[in-house]
């Protein structure tokens, strides 16, 4: 009996051992499957991390582009403001020049009205090369120098000639001008 009991125990232990071996094989297979799945998942994670790094790199590049474009926009806004300011200055200059032209035209008309008689009479002689009114061929600097010298001579002479004689001389000059205009 004892042998039967031991045989039964041995059978039970063998059966338990076979069951445990099956469980170990199943667990080993499950472990291997889990390791394979873990490997695949690690590969997927690595791929996702690589994609994330690529996207971060692109995002950094886009941020740099946006920053560069923003700086360019600010520069263009600054240039536009400077151009608008210059445009306003130019508009004011144009208005000032128009006012100067109007004033010059008004003065010209006053001079023509005051001295217009001789201008109308001599108008056909204007602009004729070599003529009396051809200012392009005249040596203006020499004429200015001569006029200055004449004024200095008159000033020096007026110191030596009494005032009464000078007044008489001026009257004679005025009469001479009137006679030469009439003729």
- Report pLDDT digits (tens) over 78-130: 999 999 999 999 999 999 999 999 998 888 888 777 766 666 777 777 777 77
HSE at residue 173, side-chain half, CA atoms within 13 A, is 6
Is 40 within 8 Å of 47 (Cβ atoms)? no
Nearest CA among 131, 14, 99, 96 for reference residue 6:
14
Is 145 within 8 Å of 153 (Cβ atoms)? no
Dist CA 176 CA 180 (whole Å): 6
DSSP string, 121-168: HHGGGBT-TTSTB-TTSS-HHHHHHHHHHHHHHHHHHHHHS-HHHHHH
- Report pLDDT digits (tens) over 128-177: 777 777 777 777 788 888 889 988 887 887 777 677 777 888 888 888 77
Mean of the per-residue pLDDT values of the chain? 85
Is 150 within 8 Å of 144 (Cβ atoms)? no
In the chain, % of residues over pLDDT 90: 37
In the chain, % of residues over pLDDT 70: 93
Nearest CA among 97, 72, 75, 98 for reference residue 83:
75
């Amino acid at each position: 009996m004892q042998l039967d009991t031991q045989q039964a125990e041995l059978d039970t232990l063998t059966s338990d051992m076979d069951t445990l071996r099956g469980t170990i094989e199943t667990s080993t297979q499950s472990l291997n499957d889990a390791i394979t799945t873990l490997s695949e998942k690690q590969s997927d994670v690595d791929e996702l991390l690589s994609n994330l790094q690529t996207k971060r790199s692109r995002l950094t590049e886009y941020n740099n582009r946006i920053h560069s474009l923003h700086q360019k926009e600010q520069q263009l806004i600054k240039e536009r403001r400077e151009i608008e300011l210059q445009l306003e200055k130019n508009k004011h200059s144009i208005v000032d020049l128009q006012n100067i032209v109007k004033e010059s035209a008004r003065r010209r008309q006053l001079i023509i009205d005051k001295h217009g008689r001789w201008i109308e009479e001599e108008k056909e002689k204007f602009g004729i090369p070599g003529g009396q009114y051809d200012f392009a061929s005249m040596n203006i600097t020499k004429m200015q120098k001569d006029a200055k010298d004449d004024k200095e001579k008159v000033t020096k002479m007026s110191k030596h000639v009494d005032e009464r004689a000078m007044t008489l001389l001026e009257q004679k000059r005025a009469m001479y001008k009137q006679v030469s205009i009439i003729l």
